[in-house]
Amino acid sequence: MSSRKDEIDSEARIDYGIIFAVLVLAIIGLASIYVSASHDTSATSIVSQMVSQLMWYAIGVVAIVVIMQFDSEQLWRIAPIVYGVGLFLLAIVLVVYSRSLYASTGAKSWIPLVGSLTFQPSEVMKPAFILMLARVVTVHNNDYPTHKLSTDFILLAKMIGWTLPVVVLLKLQNDFGTMLVFFAILGGVILVSGITWKIIGPAFGIVAVVGGTTLYMVISTTGRAILEKIGFAAYQFDRVDNWLDPSKDTSGTGYQLWQSMKAIGSGQMTGKGFNVSNVYVPVRESDMIFSVIGENFGFIGGCILIFIYFLLIYRMVRATFDTKNEFYAYLSTGVIMMILFHVFENIGMSIGLLPLTGIPLPFVSQGGSALVGNMIGIGLIMSMRFHHKSYMFSNDDEDFD
């Protein structure tokens, strides 16, 4: 009966629901990039863009396969190492950043490699940060199994302490959008860490008050002057202004958002059809890729895309409950929050519900670093099911006799 056991073991260790969702998203992404490239005469050839994206998908698949070989004990051991390497890369990019991308984006976030090929360390820092955060919370909860206000404050301080170096380096890179992703990851892990609501409630209340106050200061002349003195840039004010009133400057700073909303609105219920694009949207191959989907496939196409993301998140949550492992639970929470925030922010900014930020749509937008970072996250989730099922079957041999 050993061959039967091996067959069931092999099938159970792979989460095909996650694979299916990522594969569908990849197909949607390739189709959208093709549409964007075929209607952008200033870009490189369609073939080169498609080949480049396929190459990054291949690298991502290899990353998933490799990471799946690591069990929880091995991931636990390498967490401080990958976190340290990630911080080193975030510091290095401040010196060897791409001058051309800095001139166009204002961010020192990319390391130039070969030709036009670049690497964004902050994208692969996300899974490294998740690993470290999961380890920190697990160690603390093992040391202090009974949650008290005093110990919960210590845990919160530890989590913030491990987050601060990342935030400082991202601030120096002038990459506020990516910083928000790390805050989302931190917030998600805090919610499931066991910290009492006597701390979480007031903490999130303070965040809401600070956010609301900042927004009020942006729309106030006096408040804006104060924010300028503490480091707020003109483009950040413009993004908030255009978010609050998208029609205010449709030919200037609000042009990208206005064009995105026009493209999505023109798709109506069912879209114009594949590869039909009459509305130009800047950077639609990456940050504004949802405008391509909305214009070509309409409201129904957008809903299908969101459903695929729902399926992916659902399968990841299922994998977490199946493993019943504390370290894995925090790890998967971080990955889920990372992907969920990307989806929420990217689609939200494309339709004018949220301010514009340079956050891509997971597995769909063009871009190698972000894709590989998300694939690493998927690899961590797949590793949970892969090794958990292997352990279960190795301890239930009598069921196959």
Burial class (CB in 10 A: 0-12, 13-18, 19+), 346: buried
Q: What's the pLDDT score for residue 397? A: 43
Asked if residue 72 is part of any domain, the answer here is yes
What tens digit of pLDDT does each residue of 286-337 get?
899 999 999 999 999 999 999 999 999 999 998 888 777 889 999 999 999 9
Asked if residue 249 is part of any domain, the answer here is no
Q: What's the pLDDT score for residue 9? A: 53
Mean pLDDT, residues 35-40 taken together: 82
Asked if residue 380 is part of any domain, the answer here is yes
* pLDDT at 43 exceeding the cut of 80: no
Burial class (CB in 10 A: 0-12, 13-18, 19+), 319: buried
- How many structural domains are present in the chain? 1
Q: What's the pLDDT score for residue 111? A: 92
Asked if residue 218 is part of any domain, the answer here is no
Tell me the β-bridge partners of 118.
112
Asked if residue 205 is part of any domain, the answer here is no
Mean pLDDT, residues 109-116 taken together: 85
Q: Which of 11-15, 41-45, 169-173, 248-252 has the highest mean pLDDT?
A: 169-173
* pLDDT at 223 exceeding the cut of 60: yes
pLDDT band at 259; cut points 50, 70, 90: very high
Asked if residue 362 is part of any domain, the answer here is yes
Determine the structural domain holding residue 347 and report its residue range: 2-195+263-400
Asked if residue 238 is part of any domain, the answer here is no
The mean-pLDDT minimum among 59-73, 210-224, 255-269 falls in 210-224
* pLDDT at 92 exceeding the cut of 90: yes
Asked if residue 63 is part of any domain, the answer here is yes
Q: What's the pLDDT score for residue 12? A: 62
